[in-house]
Amino acid sequence: MNNTEQDAAKPAEVANAREWVRHLANYRDPNVAQSIFEIAATAVPFLALWALAWWALSISYWLALALAVLNGVFVVRMWRR
């Protein structure tokens, strides 16, 4: 690409960047209701699977292990943000 082609591409890149800034501005401010929902949607299944795995220990260690591995998904979800 020569200099004239590069110069012609710059306004398009700037316009694209401005579009992204406008689009992402919607996500700049926190939404408390959505935050509470996300925490509940993670913590409730985590605690339920944890209790179920604890109960499953009386039946089978393998069942408890399978539930613990599944519960690992919720642990990652809780701490990734």
- Amino acid making up residue 67: L
**Degrees (nearest 5) of the Cα angle 28, 31, 37?**
135
| pLDDT score recorded for residue 25 | 86
Structural domain count, the chain = 1
pTM, two decimals, is 0.62
State percent of the chain over pLDDT 70: 83
Structural domain containing residue 39: 3-79
| pLDDT score recorded for residue 46 | 93
